[in-house]
Amino acid sequence: MQSLTPKISIVGCGNVGMRYAYATVIKGLARELVLVDREFRQAEGHAMDLNHGAPYYAPVVIRAGSYEDIVDSDLVVVTAGIGGKVGQTRLDYATSNIKLFKEAIIPNLIKYAPHAIYLIVSNPVDVLSYITYKLSDKPWQEVIGSGTVLDSARLRHQLSKSCHIDPRNIHAYILGEHGDSEFAV
């Protein structure tokens, strides 16, 4: 079992954020999990749902909070953002999310969790990771973008189905910018 030492905060309690929260809880990766969303009641409801599963996973304090509650986080996962509309590419809605990051998310990360590692998942992930890195003035090792990890997992899954091989034994990757310019290797 994993060590239960870190405090992890998730900013953005939509589908992606809650999948991260669920995986964090099930894998026993945190001693404390803080859910932050502009819709506090949504974060509160998700925290309650996760807490109801407490008999089935390692002890963890799960709660909804605000940016003030991410103090002392070891890791902050950012999944918040304005999603695209049908037919838009990730770069089409970059302007809205860049503005959100510059005006709200990054200033609060710097203010309340300056020593945390930032894992950026919001799209366009490569652009937002770079902006977070530049504006936060953190070392590059402490601002991580999820990049093409999910795309690589999808590729490995499809290859495993076609080749009838366990996906854990396939070592294919997607490289490039997450989006239209990525490629398989």
Which residues are catalytically annotated?
A: 178
- For residue 10, what are the CA distances in angstroms to 66, 102, 118? 10, 18, 10
- For residue 28, what are the CA distances in angstroms to 1, 23, 37, 111, 117? 7, 8, 22, 28, 18
117 three-class SS: strand
159 vs 2: CA distance, rounded Å? 30
Do the beta carbons of residue 179 and residue 91 sit within 8 Å?
yes
The β-bridge partners of 118 are 76, 143
Residue from 153, 135, 14 nearest 77 by CA: 14
185 vs 13: CA distance, rounded Å? 33
**Number of C-beta neighbours around residue 50 at 10 A:** 21
